[in-house]
């Protein structure tokens, strides 16, 4: 078999090749705050769970492996975010990273999960490499999906009062929503469970779940994204 060359006469092995990493920003809602799952990197800093791509390995398989080995998470649904390719992003050498994101309810995380708050789109604790940029992109992705569907990741636990849903959305979008306006915008995407909830010492409140896939109207999307 003839060796392939390009128009300059070079083959694939004639070009320098970077290492390829996969990092996953796992977001959750805990204690009334948006949080991101982190691990202690062997260099000492906090980092997103990640790993290097093995030879002929799929990116999805590498992301699965990173979550399983580093974060004790299996069968996690995640999405690819972006490629981070700044040549100096990793002091160890030339490393590209393919960033992914997932969003899970706190109940789906292992007891050993290390979480840090995300405030103003930033992890409050400094992260290694350019992982803070990955968290920002993950939050943007989260907001895009939550502006399109009511709680698509089940952060509210599946059933909720409108007030509980509003508090979740205020945390995700980092802004307050007037309670009556919020209710009007999301109400058509909800259905009653027929049950009441008694929050603390307050009055009983009706509980809801998503209607179908919980798709929100364009007007609601505009309201949420402001």
Note if the pTM is more than 0.85: yes
Residue 44 has pLDDT above 80, yes or no: no
- The overall average pLDDT reported for the chain is 94
Mean pLDDT, residues 112-134 taken together: 92
Express as a percent the part of the chain with pLDDT over 90: 83
pLDDT for the residue 197: 84
First-to-last alpha carbon distance for the chain, in angstroms, is 60
The model's confidence at residue 202, banded by pLDDT at 50, 70 and 90, is: confident
The model's confidence at residue 1, banded by pLDDT at 50, 70 and 90, is: low
Mean pLDDT, residues 177-187 taken together: 98
What is the set of domains in the chain, with CATH numbers? 12-148 (3.90.79.10), 162-225 (1.10.10.10)
CA distances from 158 to 40, 83, 166, 210 (A): 32, 33, 14, 8
Mean pLDDT, residues 160-165 taken together: 96
pLDDT for the residue 199: 64
Mean pLDDT comparison of 2-6, 26-30, 201-205, highest-scoring range: 26-30
Residue indicated by tokens 């803070």: 132
The token pair at 67 is: 């979550």
pLDDT for the residue 200: 66
Q: Are 159 and 207 in contact (CB under 8 A)?
A: yes
pLDDT for the residue 56: 96
Residue 204 has pLDDT above 90, yes or no: no
Q: Are 174 and 156 in contact (CB under 8 A)?
A: no
Angle 140-60-40 from CA coordinates, rounded to 5°: 70
Cα dihedral 215, 101, 97, 129, rounded to 10, equals 130
Q: How many CB atoms lie within 10 A of CB 126?
A: 11
Mean pLDDT, residues 81-109 taken together: 97
Q: Exposure of 132 by Cβ count < 10 A (0-12 exposed, 13-18 middle, 19+ buried)?
A: middle
Contacts of 220 (CB under 8 A, 6+ apart): 147, 185, 186, 189
Give the C-alpha separation, 118 to 123, whole Å: 4
């Amino acid at each position: 078999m003839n060796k392939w060359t390009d128009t300059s006469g070079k083959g694939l092995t004639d070009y320098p090749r970077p290492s390829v990493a996969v990092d996953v920003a796992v977001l959750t809602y805990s204690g009334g705050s948006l949080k991101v799952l982190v691990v202690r990197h062997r260099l000492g800093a906090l980092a997103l769970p990640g790993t290097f791509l093995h030879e002929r390995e799929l990116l999805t398989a590498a992301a699965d492996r990173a979550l399983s080995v580093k974060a004790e998470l299996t069968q996690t649904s995640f999405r690819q975010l972006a490629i981070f390719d700044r040549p100096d992003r990793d002091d160890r050498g030339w490393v590209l990273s393919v960033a992914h994101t997932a969003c899970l309810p706190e109940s789906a995380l292992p007891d050993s999960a290390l979480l840090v708050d995300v405030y103003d789109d930033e992890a409050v604790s400094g992260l290694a490499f350019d992982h803070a940029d990955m968290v920002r992109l993950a939050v943007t992705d989260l907001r895009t999906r939550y502006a399109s569907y009511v709680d698509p990741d089940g952060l509210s636990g599946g059933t909720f009062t409108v007030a509980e849903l509003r508090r979740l959305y205020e945390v995700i979008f980092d802004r307050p929503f007037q309670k009556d306006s919020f209710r009007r915008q999301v109400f058509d995407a909800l259905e009653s469970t027929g049950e009441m909830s008694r929050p603390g010492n307050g009055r009983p409140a009706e509980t809801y779940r998503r209607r179908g896939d919980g798709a929100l109207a364009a007007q609601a999307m505009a309201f949420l994204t402001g």
